[in-house]
Amino acid sequence: MPTILGQNQYGKAENRVVKITRDGDTHHIKDLNVSVSLSGDMDEVHYSGSNANVLPTDTTKNTVYAFAKEYGIESAEQFGIHLARHFVTSQEPIHRARIRIEEYAWERIETSDANSKFIGADEVKHSFVRQGQEVRTAQITFDGENWEVVTGLKDLTVMNSTNSEFWGYVKDRYTTLQEAYDRILATQVHARWRYNWTSDEDRLPNWEKSYAQARKHLLQAFAETYSLSLQQTLYQMGSRVINSRSEVDEVRLSLPNKHHFLVDLEPFGLKNENEVYFAADRPYGLIEATVLRDGVEPRIPVDMTNL
């Protein structure tokens, strides 16, 4: 059966690039998911396997990271224009480049209240919360006598672009991780907290206010903790809620460590001064713990995967 090749395109999809611009203490984030798709004189690679016209998809990925350093990321559009122009004008066989970009928006975590004195600054300028993500959850149980209310949130994504270290850990023959003295700390907060309201006789908490306050304390503790591990940050987040909200007795947190790896730009003659990161989606560290008011029995299930 004779066949012919129809429309075709190729490239590297979903390059997760995070660019931190450090303006003194004030940091700015650009977080993109960039997909490159190229087409042109590509008949031969399909018909005979000759790669003579093929710029590797791996190279298109490297170009995304290198351009983040060389041009910066002013806007998704401008970044895409640089990339598309580069592929079409530098490679004769490539006639068309399509760059698709998703941009994830981050806003600063507000910390300008009494707690910021703990870190000796008026305002934290390196802590961000990703917009438009989180889901509020609630579980209400009643056995005719006692109530149990467990409220929570999931998919609240936060990042500190500095004030995070990780070193001094156990090293065995399989350990390759380099100690980090200034790393990005990012996580997607999954939290549940249990109220000590159990009886119709007791005064009801203000659920709306309590949720907003618990969320605020989680965010502020994340932003204001100088972190030596995500475990330490987790404990600070849980404790902050317990210490600030008398209606809450137990907080359970599940925090994936959303790793950001510095991209090696040396092969392209570029120096990466803690600016351009690869945001890996898996595997991820998963740090989980319950923080309790002293004297209280834990009741939130340990495994929250389906909650």
Looking at 216, 285, 293, 307, which residue binds ligand URC (CB under 6 A)?
Answer: 285
In the region spanning residues 147 to 176, those forming contacts with ligand URC, defined by CB under 6 A, are 166
| Cα gap 131→106, rounded to integer Å | 6
Q: Would you call 259 a catalytic residue per the annotation?
A: yes
Q: Does 222 bind ligand URC (CB under 6 A)?
A: no
Selected catalytic residue, list 27, 61, 258, 259: 259
Shortest reach from residue 41's CB to ligand URC, in Å:
45
| Cα gap 87→53, rounded to integer Å | 12
How far is CA 107 from each of CA 104, 252, 261, rounded to the nearest angstrom?
Answer: 10, 25, 22
Q: Does 230 bind ligand URC (CB under 6 A)?
A: yes
Shortest reach from residue 29's CB to ligand URC, in Å:
20
Q: Would you call 30 a catalytic residue per the annotation?
A: no
Q: Does 257 bind ligand URC (CB under 6 A)?
A: yes
Q: Does 177 bind ligand URC (CB under 6 A)?
A: yes
Between 176 and 199, CB nearer to ligand URC: 176
Between 37 and 229, CB nearer to ligand URC: 229
Q: Would you call 95 a catalytic residue per the annotation?
A: no
Contacts with ligand URC: how many residues (CB under 6 A)? 7
Residues that bind ligand URC (CB under 6 A): 166, 177, 229-231, 257, 285
Catalytically active residues are 12, 57, 259
